[in-house]
Chain A
């Protein structure tokens, strides 16, 4: 009974805050609405008995949204909501596509005859996950590690400031400002 109530509260919060992300005017509010939606989903994952993954999602999203808030203020058209403006394009078309997608997914969810449950959750799902990652799913874990390392390199390369060699190539005489490549 308590689990059912908790499910409804968290599910409504997740979807409601998710919708608020594209409705609120202030970018600070938008970031924290997204954070609230993520925390509600983390709560739902905890409700399903996945203690470790729920906590990981919660911790990761708190950090991610705090970083996001900085980027929001850097790049947003309307950081503090002081100048209300429309930031949409093709609003009606997007809404039609989104509602259509939800209708198709909901029809599938309600009409598909789902298979019956096989097995029971392990007594310690965290232990089972760790064991899987360190044995059968070791290749998955290694691939993720390499992907994350590649991301670090990519981000540094993309975010670093371009020097004059990037702009003008190795022949510095071809550039503007007297040909010394400045």
Chain B
């Protein structure tokens, strides 16, 4: 149990989430990728708190912030999926490319 091992596991979760977010066509699966990325960030933050600065509680507060971000992302994401599906039956990322630059 070292900091490096924890961070490697977190990096693995982040990379898998990134793969999912980039490769999935379904918007819901894309959001699962984003969740996995945040999952890795939680793990990395907890490891940083425990192995580097366990004296303060800033690391713990940061985890609370990340968990909140996760909940907000999920709720807002599903609301957007519902809205776009209701207005034009789009449930795939390829159908929602209006903001393509």
Which residues of A approach B to under 8 Å, CB–CB? Answer: 3-4, 7, 11, 14-15, 18-19, 21-22, 30, 34, 37-38, 41, 44-45, 47-50, 53, 56-57, 60, 64, 68, 71-72, 75-77, 87-91, 93-95, 97-99, 101-102, 105-106, 109-110, 114-115, 117-122, 125, 128-129, 131-133, 137, 140-141, 144, 147-148, 151-152, 154-155, 158-159, 161-162
Contact = CB atoms under 8 A, between A and B. Distances in A.
Contacts of A144: 64-65, 68
A22 B29 contact: yes
A145 B71 CA distance: 12
A120 B19 contact: no
Sorted nearest first, the 4 A-B pairs with minimum C-beta distance are: A119-B55, A98-B19, A102-B15, A94-B23
Given A109-B7, A162-B87, A75 B26 contact: yes
Contacts of A155: 75-76, 78-79
Given A106-B8, A132-B57, A132-B60, A41 B91 contact: no
B4 A110 contact: yes
30 contacts: A4-B1, A14-B13, A14-B43, A15-B9, A21-B16, A22-B23, A22-B24, A41-B39, A45-B46, A48-B6, A50-B60, A50-B63, A53-B63, A57-B42, A57-B67, A75-B28, A75-B91, A76-B26, A114-B52, A118-B55, A119-B55, A125-B57, A129-B64, A132-B57, A133-B61, A137-B61, A140-B64, A147-B68, A152-B75, A155-B76
Contact of B81 (A18, A48, A71, A106): A71
Secondary structure of the B contact surface, majority rule = helix
B86 A101 contact: no
B67 A60 contact: yes
Contacts, number: 227
A49 B6 CA distance: 14
A57 B18 CA distance: 21
A49 B57 CA distance: 13
B20 to A, nearest CB: 5
Contacts of B93: 89
Contacts of B13: 14-15, 18, 37, 41
Given A117-B52, A121-B55, 17 more contacts: A15-B16, A18-B36, A21-B36, A34-B35, A37-B39, A50-B60, A68-B74, A89-B94, A95-B23, A97-B22, A98-B22, A105-B14, A106-B8, A109-B8, A119-B54, A120-B55, A158-B76
A147 B72 contact: yes
Contacts of B14: 101-102, 105
B50 A48 contact: yes
